[in-house]
């Protein structure tokens, strides 16, 4: 009898890579000529990234710097949800929420995609904020990975615990 193989579909962000990107962006904002005198800052605010500047344009430019540093560190930008610039006193703020985990609705969408288009031997099961995909054929599991990568999802996915 064949052994069942499985893997998990998750949506996680490497916090250390995000931290490194924030530090690089903060350093660039301190050193770049076009940020001189604007008192622009990039830092952690709990589990989100806080960008603060004296003008709306510089806040948006700092957001672009942060996003470019995240891309350089291979962090999927679909995991980052920036807010619109808002003014508080004389300062402009942008907060970038970091999305971790797959919501129940998104997990249902991916499970339906797998049920409809993947080989029939594949089963998808929602487990909290991740999806467990099982099959007797490893080739079928690789086909599911290819299918999920090709799907236009609005959140980042990674494949872990391949056994």
CATH of the domain at 142: 3.30.70.860
Shared domain check, 85 and 26: yes
Q: Are residues 69 and 25 in the same domain?
A: yes
Instruction: Examine the fold and report which residue of 71, 98, 125 is the final residue of a domain before the chain moves on.
Output: 98
DSSP codes, 121-135: T-EEEEETTEEEEEE
Question: How many domains would you assign to the chain?
Answer: 2
Neighbours of 61 (CB within 10 A): 19
Of 12, 103, 95, the closest CA to residue 53 belongs to 95
- Considering the domain architecture, whether residues 94 and 125 belong to the same structural domain is answered as no
Q: What is the CATH number of the domain that holds 64?
A: 3.30.70.990
107 in the same domain as 92: no
Regarding whether 148 and 123 lie in a shared domain, the answer is yes
Both 76 and 144 in a single domain?
no
Q: For each of the chain's 163 residues, which pLDDT tens digit applies? A: 458 889 999 999 999 999 999 999 999 999 999 999 889 999 999 899 999 999 999 999 999 999 999 999 999 999 999 999 999 889 999 999 999 989 899 999 999 999 998 888 899 999 988 899 999 988 999 999 999 989 888 888 889 988 8
**Are 94 and 119 contained in the same domain?**
no
**8 contact partners, CB below 8 Å, separation of at least 6:** 127, 130, 131, 132, 133, 159, 160, 161
Q: What's the CA gap between 59 and 65, in Å, rounded?
A: 10
Spell out a b/e string for 88-100, using b for 16 or more CB atoms within 10 Å of the CB, else e. Answer: eeeebbbbbebbe
Q: Residue 46: give the domain boundaries.
A: 15-98
């Amino acid at each position: 009898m064949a052994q069942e193989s499985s893997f998990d579909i998750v949506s996680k962000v490497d916090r250390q890579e995000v931290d490194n990107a924030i530090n690089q962006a903060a350093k660039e904002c301190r050193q770049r000529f076009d940020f001189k005198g604007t008192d622009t800052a990039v830092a952690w605010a709990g589990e989100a990234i806080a960008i603060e500047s004296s003008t709306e344009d510089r806040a948006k430019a700092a957001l672009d710097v942060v996003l470019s540093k995240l891309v350089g560190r291979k962090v999927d930008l679909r995991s980052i949800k920036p807010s619109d610039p808002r003014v508080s006193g004389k300062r402009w703020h942008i907060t970038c929420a970091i999305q971790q985990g797959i919501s129940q609705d998104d997990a249902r969408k991916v499970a339906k995609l797998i049920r409809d288009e993947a080989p029939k031997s594949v089963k998808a099961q929602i487990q909290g904020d991740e999806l467990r995909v099982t099959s007797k054929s490893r080739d079928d599991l690789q086909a599911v990975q290819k299918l999920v990568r090709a799907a236009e999802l609005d959140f980042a996915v990674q494949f872990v615990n391949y056994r």
